[in-house]
Every structure is written in structure tokens, then in C-alpha cells.
Amino acid sequence: MRVADAFSSGPALIVYLCMGDPDIKTTIEAARRVIAAGADLLELGLPHSDPIADGPVIQAAAQRAIAAGMDTDRYFQAAGKIEGIPKVFMGYYNMVFQRGVERFAADCAASGISGLIVPDLPPEEANPLMQACKRYDLDLIFLVAPNTPQQRAEEIAAMSSGFVYLVSRSGVTGARKEVLDSTRELIARVPAVRPRAVGFGISTPDQAAQMVAAGAEGVIVGSACVDLVGQGRLDKLEELVMGMKKEMIKVAPKR
Amino acid sequence: MMTTSHTSPLETARFGSFGGGFIPETLVQPLRELADAYLSLQADPGFLEELGELLSRFAGRPTPLCRADRLGQALGRRIYLKREDLLHGGAHKLNNTLGQALIASRMGKSRLIAETGAGQHGVATAIVGAKLGFETQIYMGEVDIERQKMNVYRMELLGAEVIPVRSGSRTLKDAINEAMRDWAGSYETTHYLLGTAAGPYPYPAMVRDLQSVIGQEARSQIMEQEGRLPDSIVACVGGGSNAMGIFAPFLSDPTRLIAVEAGGRGPGQTGRTADNGASLAFGSKGVLHGAMTKILQDPFGQILESYSVAAGLDYPGVGPQLAHLAETGRVLTRLASDAQAVRGFRYLSQAEGIIPALESAHAVGYALEEPQQLGDLCIINVSGRGDKDLHTVMEYEGC
């Protein structure tokens, strides 16, 4: 399954889960429910000891998962068991680098992962991984932030594959009440040469709908879901995903 | 590769295969603005004059290069001590904080944030925050706050706010993570004043350059006092700012440059904590805090905690330029264990009347172990004074 498939039938809802928090069984069950509730793409996070782009919720989830024994081998084993919608890897570059970009890409392909998001790997540092991704037919998804200059934003959108990740605001991941005007500006100025998915701080159906109404082809929800999994509220998780998807479809442009 | 109209060449971001900028997109632009400001101010006479004046009239530069007669006699060679312990604040840290704070002020920032482990860099940041009128907040691991109560009080006395870090291992590496997270949301008003020659470009180059006043002074002082270059220079290494500061002006000389890492309790690992702080000796290549460097990590790439009796060397990474210079052999990397450092601490106190910081005591401890490596004429960088460590040494010795 390709990353692009997630965007083929209307606005895509992308759900982030932290693999192994609190254990692999729970992540697999959470993924099953999220898929049943209508998610279009899964971002499977590989926990790292030093997640510099993440806020407190995902930091805490990563710590729990590492303490419970999550590592890269187990990550790929578990990822292989999750099926139904396209999956992408999300994690920090040192975890990729230690395995070796070639082996990491091969393991992604073998476990049915079709793309990678590496939040601490700007395009300037990405060449080795990009080459490996090409060899294994994987998408490498880059991020654009509100403070990314226009020319650079256009270049990143062009070189990103699968979709381009629009960071809704400065700072780290985590739910926020307001979806800022700057996010709308960002959607307006990043060319739609490929799907644009907005993430960081989106936690409610209403916010997700606002992003779609503003022109985003996808919405990424992370901390809000990780928080519910952390509380053991998989029923609430299912409800949130269903609610988001429903509101997104309501405002989606007619095709 | 993407093209960019940006003026600072990407080549300067690399030291061999080390360095670079492995950072979230949100920090790319703030780091470029910082690099641009730094590169232009480097050649700005007004900036250099203001910095020079603060370094001399406020901080107390130049620091002496002092012959250590009794230590030298015992080791059968001429030993000099570069006295950064006499700098205001009690360590070399102020060279960097003064420079970066002036850059921040030229960039129009009103707030400084910094990380600190033992508290020395936090104190040096609090000093410049007070002197130059910044709002100052210092991230410090909860574990370190407990270990270093006196420095927490010093920072608060100087008007800074100390923010406890409760994530991860609750020590220095997590304080750096937290400062980077803060900066990703606050860069418009805030400068992140990183304390060592590590992290993403431009920090390794900028901190090295600001600290290289140590080596420039030492070079002219040894020429004046001995009429020749030293055979060796010994400096301790945590992140590497005092070492790069004294080494940098000697890189093209035949002088042997010896970096002494924290050997701690030995080469092993206890749980998820390495028994040492020696990333050059025992680490492997990887990314930490935005740079490709040598780090202490597990086979999957999770960062280990480090250990040293000297809190300032207790860091699981090292600056990328030192990683490169160690790889090429230009810098020799050696170890001093906790016990050897404490021996150096006592020895310098009794032989020379100077109580060195436990960090600097690693350099002294190494010199006592392998004097034959030093040649006939050696400079040891006494990067700080040891008053802050009395309690630690008393505990170590079971007093």
C-alpha cells in the first residue's frame, strides 16, 4: 500500500501511535481500532530516549515504551502485524543511523511500511537516507514550518514524497486550543504539488475540519491519541478518530 | 541536494564527517540567523571592542599563565598552568556567555535560555543576563538541582529563574533537550545560549571561537616566558569548550594536544548508564543534540546516561570538531578515572596552592600518570576553580 493511497478518496486522517506504549499488544489493538474508526494512514513512532521535537505527552509515552523493552527489532516485528491502511515510520535519525540507512529501509519495506518521517533530518542532511528510500521504493516525507522561508518551503514540497508535513506552529508536539492563523497562511503558501498534511497541536474534530476547510489534504493527530492510549481509553480513541473523520468529510471540497 | 540563497556556506558546518545540523525544521531558520549574525559580527570592530572590554574590565582577562615549579619538579619537566580558574565566575564559561549574550543583544533578543548540568554554565549565563539586562531562564535536571543546591541559589541570586527538568534522565542531556524545545517556540525573542562547543552548527564553531581567547593568550604568554611553543597542552573534555578554546590556536603547530576524558569508574556500563563520560574513547558515531559526533549509546541508538565524579564532564556526547580531531589523530584522547582526578585535585592544591575544579583535576591527574607524554614543556588548562567541588570530594573520600 502506498502513502498516496491515503489521500485518494478525500481528506486523509493520519494518526500517530507510539509503538510499545504501554506494550506492543496495546499498540496493535489501538491501531486496529483506529483503522476501523476511519483513519487513512498510520504514523508508527519508534520511541527514542531524546525526542527533541516532542512535547511532554509523546516524551512520556516514549519513556514508558523504552522501559517496557521496545527496540528497533521489536518495532519492525510489531509493525508487520498491523495491516489495513498505509503505514509510515516516524522517529529520530540516530535510531535510523545506528541500524544503517540501507538496512533500515529494507526493514521498513519488509514490514509493510511505505514511508518515513524523520523530524530531526532536514533536507541538507537527508541524502544518504533519501538514496536508500529510492532503492526500496519508500516515500521520504519532509516537514515545512511556519518560519520556513518561501523558496525553501517550495523546494521542500517538491522534494518530499508521499505528502509534505506542515508543522502548524512553532514549538513541539502537543495539543493546543487554538489553530493559529499562521497555519492557514502556511497551507496557502505551500504549493499543492503533493498532498499537504497539517500536524502539531491538532486534537479536536473541529480543528481537523478547520484545517481541511483551509485547504489541507490531510490532518495529523498525535498527542491527543497517545494521551488516550496512555490512559487506557481505547474507546475514547475510537470515538475521537471517528469524530475527526466525520467533521473532515463534511467540509471536504466536493470531487 | 537543495540549493539555497543562504550566505553561510554549508561546508563550514562539517568537521570531516562530524557536525552538521540534525534539527527540526523549526530550528533551521533560527540557527541560520544566528550563524549569519555571528559571521558578520566576527569582523565587526565595534562588537569586538565591546567584547574585549567586557572580557578585560568585567571578567578579568587576560588570565595568567603561571609556572608550576613544584609540580614541574616532581614530574621532571616545565609545567605551566593556564589560570581560567581566575576568571570571573570561577571558570572559563564566561568567555562564551559574554560573547553569545552580546550577539543576542545585537540580534535584538530580550531573553536568554541555557542548559546547565553542574551549574557552572548556568551561573555564567545568569551573570551575563544580569550584567547585560536579559530575562534569563536556566534549564536544569531535577537530579542535578538536588546535587547542586548552592549553584541553584547562585543563579537565583543573580536574577535568573531555574526551571527543573523532569523528563528523561533528568540530567544535563535532558536539560539541553528542554532548552531546544523551548527555543523552537520562542526563537523570535529568545537566544539559546548553549554552553559548550557541541550541538548543531553554528554552536561548535562559535563557542570554539569565543573560547579560543584562552589559547591565544596562552600562546603569546608562553612565547614571552619561554621563547618557544609548548611540547604539549593538556585539557579536560566534557563537551569540549575549554579544550577547543586552548587547542584551536595551536592546531597548525607541532604541539601535542591531549584531551583528557572522564574515565569515571571504568569502561563498562551499569544498567542504562555508562560508567564514564568518555565519548571519544568508548562512544560510537551518532547524532545527539543536533550534531553527528561520538556518543555513548546502546546498539539501537538510545542515548545512555554518562557518569563522572566531575559533573561538568558528565555528558554522553562531545563536540563534533573534537570527534574529528581525535579521529584524524591531531588530538590524542586519554582518560583520567575518578580516583586519578581526585589525586590531581589534592596534588595541585598541596603542591601549587591552587584548588582546581574537579573537571580540570582530570587534566592534572592525567599529567601525574603519564608525565613522559608531556615533553619538556607543557601547559595544563586549569579551566575552573574547585570551591564548588569540596563537598563532592569530601563525600568521595568518605569524610
The string of pLDDT tens digits covering residues A210-241 is 999 999 999 999 999 999 999 999 999 999 99
pLDDT tens digits for range B176-230: 999 999 999 999 999 999 999 999 999 999 999 999 999 999 999 999 999 999 9
Distance separating alpha carbons of residues B299 and B296, to the nearest angstrom: 10
pLDDT on residue B147? 79
- What share of chain B in percent tops pLDDT 70? 97
In this complex, the residue of B20, B184, B287 whose CB is nearest that of residue A170 is B184
Indicate whether B195 and B268 sit together in one domain: no
Indicate whether B311 and B375 sit together in one domain: yes
CB contacts under 8 A, A 133-152 vs B, are 142-149, 151-152
CB B365 within 8 A of CB B393: no
Give the bridge partners for A199, in sequence order. A167
**Average pLDDT of the residues of chain A:** 95
Distance separating alpha carbons of residues B184 and B195, to the nearest angstrom: 18
pLDDT on residue B12? 57
pLDDT tens digits for range B26-37: 999 999 999 999
Give the number of other Cβ atoms within 10 Å of residue A82's Cβ. Answer: 22
Boundaries of domain holding B226: 60-91+212-396
Of the residues B158, B184, B207, the one at which a domain ends? B207
Residue of B nearest to A152 (CA): B4
**Average pLDDT of the residues of chain B:** 95
Interface contacts (A, B; CB < 8 Å)? 134
Give the number of other Cβ atoms within 10 Å of residue B239's Cβ. Answer: 31
Task: Tell me whether residues A145 and B168 touch, CB distance under 8 A.
Answer: no
> Is A164 in the B-facing interface, judged by CB distances under 8 Å?
no
Q: Is pLDDT at B169 greater than 80 in this prediction?
A: yes
A3-140+200-251: which CATH architecture? Alpha-Beta Barrel (3.20)
CB contacts under 8 A, A 93-112 vs B, are 93-99
CB B279 within 8 A of CB B294: yes
Chain A residues closer than 8 Å to B25 by CB: 119, 122, 142-145, 148, 156, 167
Using the 8-state DSSP alphabet, how is residue B153 labeled? H
> Is B21 in the A-facing interface, judged by CB distances under 8 Å?
yes
Question: Half-sphere exposure of residue B258, counting CA atoms within 13 Å on the CB side?
Answer: 27
> Is A154 in the B-facing interface, judged by CB distances under 8 Å?
no
Chain B residues closer than 8 Å to A63 by CB: 167-168
Indicate whether B389 and B254 sit together in one domain: yes
Question: In Å, how far is A63's CA from the nearest CA of chain B?
Answer: 7
Q: Please check whether residue B302 lies inside any domain of the structure.
A: yes
Task: Tell me whether residues A147 and B187 touch, CB distance under 8 A.
Answer: yes
Whether ipTM tops 0.90, in short, is yes
Distance separating alpha carbons of residues A164 and B269, to the nearest angstrom: 41
Buried b or exposed e, range A203-232, using 16+ CB within 10 angstroms: bbbebbbbbbbbebbbbbbbbbbbbbbbee
C-alpha separations of B253 from A69, B27, B230, B248, B276 in Å = 49, 37, 10, 10, 31
Indicate whether B366 and B301 sit together in one domain: yes
Residue to mutate among B115, B296, B302, B315, with most A CBs inside 10 A, is: B302
Question: In Å, how far is A97's CA from the nearest CA of chain B?
Answer: 7
> Is B164 in the A-facing interface, judged by CB distances under 8 Å?
no
Give the number of other Cβ atoms within 10 Å of residue B205's Cβ. Answer: 23
> Is B9 in the A-facing interface, judged by CB distances under 8 Å?
no
Contacts of B380 (CB under 8 A, 6+ apart): B68, B79, B80, B81, B82, B233, B234, B235, B360, B363, B364, B367
Whole-angstrom Cα Rg for chain A:
16
Of the residues B207, B241, B265, the one at which a domain ends? B207
Q: Please check whether residue B158 lies inside any domain of the structure.
A: yes
More confident residue, B307 or B168: B307
CB B199 within 8 A of CB B175: no
Look at chain B and report how many structural domains it folds into. Answer: 2
pLDDT tens digits for range B362-395: 999 999 999 999 999 999 999 999 999 999 999 9
Of the residues B207, B230, B260, the one at which a domain ends? B207
pLDDT tens digits for range A5-61: 999 999 999 999 999 999 999 999 999 999 999 999 999 999 999 999 999 999 999
Catalytic residue among A21, A40, A43, A227: A43
Indicate whether B235 and B191 sit together in one domain: no
What ranges do the domains of chain A cover? 3-140+200-251
Task: Tell me whether residues B300 and A99 touch, CB distance under 8 A.
Answer: yes
Indicate whether B271 and B374 sit together in one domain: yes
> Is A221 in the B-facing interface, judged by CB distances under 8 Å?
no
pLDDT on residue B351? 98
Task: Tell me whether residues A122 and B25 touch, CB distance under 8 A.
Answer: yes
Chain B residues closer than 8 Å to A95 by CB: 300-302
DSSP track, B314-329: --S---HHHHHHHHHT
In this complex, the residue of A49, A97, A148 whose CB is nearest that of residue B25 is A148
- Helix (H) or strand (E) run with residue B269 in it: strand B269-270
Q: Which three cell numbers stand for residue B201?
A: 552548527
Indicate whether B354 and B231 sit together in one domain: yes
Residue with cell 487506557: A232
CB B260 within 8 A of CB B234: yes
**Pairing outcome for strands A139-141 and B273-274:** unpaired
Question: In Å, how far is B26's CA from the nearest CA of chain A?
Answer: 5
Task: Tell me whether residues B2 and A124 touch, CB distance under 8 A.
Answer: yes
In this complex, the residue of B2, B177, B184 whose CB is nearest that of residue A171 is B184
Handedness of CA B141, B147, B151, B152 (dihedral sign): positive
CB A149 within 8 A of CB A182: no
Q: Please check whether residue B7 lies inside any domain of the structure.
A: no
Q: Is pLDDT at A176 greater than 80 in this prediction?
A: no
Indicate whether B305 and B288 sit together in one domain: yes
More confident residue, A133 or B4: A133
Taking each helix axis from N to C terminus, what angle separates B93-106 and B25-41, rounded to the nearest 10 degrees?
A: 100
Indicate whether B193 and B234 sit together in one domain: no
CB B4 within 8 A of CB B30: no
For chain B, the distance separating the N- and C-terminal CA atoms, rounded to the nearest angstrom, is: 60
Indicate whether B144 and B253 sit together in one domain: no
Residue of B nearest to A128 (CA): B1
Chain A residues closer than 8 Å to B20 by CB: 124-125
C-alpha separations of B321 from B14, B232, B329 in Å = 8, 19, 12
Q: Which domain CATH number covers B324?
A: 3.40.50.1100
Nearest one of B256, B392, B258, B241 to B317, comparing CA atoms: B241
CB B247 within 8 A of CB B215: yes
> Is B28 in the A-facing interface, judged by CB distances under 8 Å?
yes
pLDDT on residue B5? 36
- Quote the Cα angle for B359-A50-A110, to 5°: 135
Nearest one of B137, B138, B140, B237 to B196, comparing CA atoms: B237
pLDDT tens digits for range B89-103: 999 999 999 999 999
Q: Which three cell numbers stand for residue B226?
A: 619561554
Q: Please check whether residue B4 lies inside any domain of the structure.
A: no
CB B34 within 8 A of CB B202: yes
**Whether A54 is catalytic:** yes
Name the pLDDT band for B6 (thresholds 50, 70, 90): very low
Distance separating alpha carbons of residues B346 and B101, to the nearest angstrom: 35
CB A226 within 8 A of CB A199: no
Indicate whether B109 and B221 sit together in one domain: no
More confident residue, B190 or A180: B190
Question: In Å, how far is B331's CA from the nearest CA of chain A?
Answer: 25
Name the pLDDT band for A175 (thresholds 50, 70, 90): low
pLDDT on residue B133? 98
Name the pLDDT band for A172 (thresholds 50, 70, 90): confident
3-state secondary structure of B373: helix
Residue to mutate among B25, B33, B192, B303, with most A CBs inside 10 A, is: B25
Indicate whether B272 and B337 sit together in one domain: yes
Q: What is the mean pLDDT of residues A97-122?
A: 98
CB A151 within 8 A of CB A159: no
Q: Is pLDDT at B59 greater than 60 in this prediction?
A: yes
**Whether A43 is catalytic:** yes
